[in-house]
Amino acid sequence: MTRSRDIRLATVDDAETITELLACLAQEMGDGGVFASTPEAIRHYGFGPNALFLVMLAESDGLSLFFPHFSTTRAQPGVYVQDLWVNPTQRGQNLGARLLSATAAHAAQSWGARYMGLTTHGHNDAARRFYLHLGFAGAQNDVPMALNGPDFLSFAEARDEQQDGAAKS
């Protein structure tokens, strides 16, 4: 069984392990066919001076991938957990809660986080029960939405064109 002391902030040397664990999560959620993360992408986006995320790692047993978040409603910084995964052989042993607790502690200490946010897959009833048990509550007024792929790029390009037009007038 993994102990709390075995949970640590991941380093660039953990990129392959992180990718493997994220692939397990994707498979479990039915996203294996679209999973595209690679160790190179994890190293590029997760480490260095412009890192976009951090990872709490329990070796090959689990991870929490997270990043800073800010709520204008709360007027406080928070932490958003993008991915939480625990090896099925370790579930029921409090590892998920310990990963989230380590994530909260790091965020509170590093950037003054005062809340934690996350989203579950719509079909993942077990995850919802887990988070409710820990005290999470559904945000009734929040509906996650996304602009993806070609639509995102078209939207970004349209914004650039609008700015170019405004600069010329």
Q: What CATH number has the domain bearing residue 117?
A: 3.40.630.30
Domain membership of residue 65 (yes or no) is yes
Give the count of alpha carbons within 13 A of 128, CB side only. 8
pTM for this predicted structure: 0.84
Q: 82 with 74: CB under 8 angstroms?
A: no
Q: Kindly state whether residue 152 falls inside one of the protein's structural domains.
A: no
Domain that holds residue 18: 4-144
* Interval 34-77: pLDDT, tens: 999 999 999 999 998 999 999 999 988 999 999 999 999 999 99
| Among the listed residues 82, 71, 93, the one whose alpha carbon sits nearest the alpha carbon of residue 6 | 93
User: Is 164 a member of any domain?
Assistant: no
Q: At residue 164, does pLDDT exceed 90?
A: no
pLDDT in tens, 68-104: 999 999 999 999 999 999 999 999 999 999 999 999 9
Length, in residues, of the chain: 169
Strand pairing of 54-57 and 62-71? Answer: antiparallel
